Amino acid sequence: MDDTSPTDVAHAAVNSLLRVVAQSADDLRAFHDVVSRAQLSSLAPFPRATVLLSERIIDRLATIDKELEEVLLGLGLVNAPR
């Protein structure tokens, strides 16, 4: 018999999301630190593929931002700090 309630499932989903968001935040912060410390002026010009990939990442992060906002709304945290 499955004793898992809808509330338990929701809590598990939110806890999983929190773990993934925390790890992603750490990864993004580390990426930011590496790139911001690099001497970009001494690097060779970016290949077109790198520019396109950067644009795709920006688009995906914008989508993720909107979807995380939807999660906040779904949890009733409309005025949560951003």
Q: 28-77: per-residue pLDDT in tens?
A: 999 999 888 876 667 777 788 888 999 999 999 999 999 999 999 988 88
Q: pTM of this prediction? A: 0.74
Task: Name which of 30, 34, 33, 24 is nearest 61 in CA terms.
Answer: 24
Pair (53, 79) in one structural domain: yes
Pair (71, 54) in one structural domain: yes
Pair (37, 3) in one structural domain: yes
Q: Is the pLDDT of residue 12 over 90?
A: yes
Pair (79, 49) in one structural domain: yes
Question: What pLDDT score does 63 carry?
Answer: 97
SS (H, E, C) the chain: CCCCCHHHHHHHHHHHHHHHHHHHHHHHHHHHHHHHHCCHHHCCCCCHHHHHHHHHHHHHHHHHHHHHHHHHHHCCCCCCCC
Pair (16, 34) in one structural domain: yes
Pair (39, 55) in one structural domain: no
pLDDT band, residue 82 (cuts 50/70/90): low
What is the domain extent for residue 78? Answer: 45-82
Pair (12, 37) in one structural domain: yes
| Amino acid identity for residue 80 in this structure | A
Structure tokens at 32: 């930011």
* Count of structural domains, the chain: 2
Question: What pLDDT score does 24 carry?
Answer: 96
